[in-house]
């Protein structure tokens, strides 16, 4: 799924949650963009998203894509990080029964995918209960 260049290009986002904040209207986009969807401005500064947030909605994947077949069942959710930006991420180290809208979470660095036994290792953000 991820060839080295495609994976590497997103590293500042995957590893450090780097986002783009519009210099004109202050809207933050993750990942960063070239043009602001709110005000059409093209000037941005780099900001880092918070590493704490709240669970907005979630599911437990029981039938997963081949890359993730060995990890099922696993929880995935939409997390609203403090500051307002939302991300999609796996929720780990959490009993499925404890998943609930409003759960406080923390971002942790984890391995997201492996490209088989000989391909690259792909890292990124997941969330754990705070």
Partner 1 sequence: MRDVAVLGVGLNSKWGELWEMSLRDIFVEAALNALDDAGVDRVDSIVVGCMTSGLFVGQEHLGSLMSDYLGMNPVAATRVESACASGGAAFRQGFLEVASGAADIVLVGGVEKMTDVGGDEATYALSAASDMEYEAYHGITFPGLYALVARAHMHRFGTTREQLAHVAVKNHRHGARNPVAQYPYEITVEDVLASVMVADPLRVLDCSPITDGAAAAVLCPVETARKLSKKPVVKVLASAQASSTIALHSRKDLTWFESTAEAAQKAYRMAGKRPEDIDVAEVHDCFTIAEIVVLEALGLVERGKGGQAAASGMTALGGKIPVNTSGGLKSKGHPVGATGVAQVVEITRQLRGESGPRQVEGARVGLTQNMGGTGGSSVVHIFETV
Partner 2 sequence: MAGIIGYGAYIPRYRIKVEEIAKIWGADAPNYKRGLGLEEKSVPGPDQDTITMSVEAAKKALRRAGIDPREIGAVYVGSESHPYAVKPSGTVLAEAIGATPDVHSASFEFACKAGTEAMFVCLCQVESGRIKYGLAVGADTSQGAPGDALEYSTAAGAAAFIFGRDHVVAQVDETYSFMTDTPDFWRREYQHYPRHAGRFTGEPAYFKHIRGAAQGIMKKAGLQPKDFHYVVFHQPNGKFPLNVGRQLGFTREQIETGRLVPKLGNTYSGSSPMGLTAVLDVARPGDRILLVSYGSGAGSDAFIFTVTGRIDEVRDKAEHTRALLDGHKVYIDYGTYAKYRGKILKAE
Could you tell me if 72 and 64 are in contact, meaning their C-beta atoms sit under 8 angstroms apart?
Answer: yes
| Helix, strand, or coil (residue 79) | strand
Helix extents (H) in the chain: 4-9, 11-16
Q: Which of 2, 28, 47, 120 binds partner 1 (CB under 8 A)?
A: 2
Selection from partner 2, partner 1, none that 60 binds (CB < 5 to 8 A by kind) is: partner 1
| Helix, strand, or coil (residue 19) | strand
- Kindly write out the interface string for residues 47-86 of this chain, putting x where it contacts partner 1 by CB under 8 A and - elsewhere: ---------xxxxxxxxxxxxxx-x--x-xxx-------x
Measured between alpha carbons, how far is residue 54 from residues 73, 87, 117 in Å? 21, 11, 35
Selection from partner 2, partner 1, none that 93 binds (CB < 5 to 8 A by kind) is: partner 2
Q: Is 38 in the site for partner 1 (CB under 8 A)?
A: no
Could you tell me if 114 and 71 are in contact, meaning their C-beta atoms sit under 8 angstroms apart?
Answer: no
Residues engaged in binding partner 1 (CB under 8 A):
1-2, 6, 10, 13, 30-31, 56-69, 71, 74, 76-78, 86-90, 96, 101, 112-113, 122, 124, 126
């Amino acid at each position: 799924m991820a060839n080295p260049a495609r994976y590497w290009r997103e590293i500042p986002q995957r590893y450090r949650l780097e986002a783009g904040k519009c210099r004109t209207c202050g809207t933050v986009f993750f990942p960063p963009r070239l043009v602001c969807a709110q005000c059409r401005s093209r000037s941005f500064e780099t900001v880092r998203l918070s590493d704490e947030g709240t669970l907005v909605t979630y599911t437990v994947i029981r039938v997963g894509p081949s890359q993730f077949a060995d990890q099922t069942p696993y929880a995935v959710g939409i997390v609203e990080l403090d500051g307002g930006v939302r991300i999609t991420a796996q929720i780990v180290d959490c009993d499925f029964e404890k998943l609930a809208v409003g759960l406080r979470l923390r971002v942790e660095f984890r391995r997201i995918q492996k490209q088989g036994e000989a391909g690259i290792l792909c890292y990124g953000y997941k969330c754990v209960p705070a």
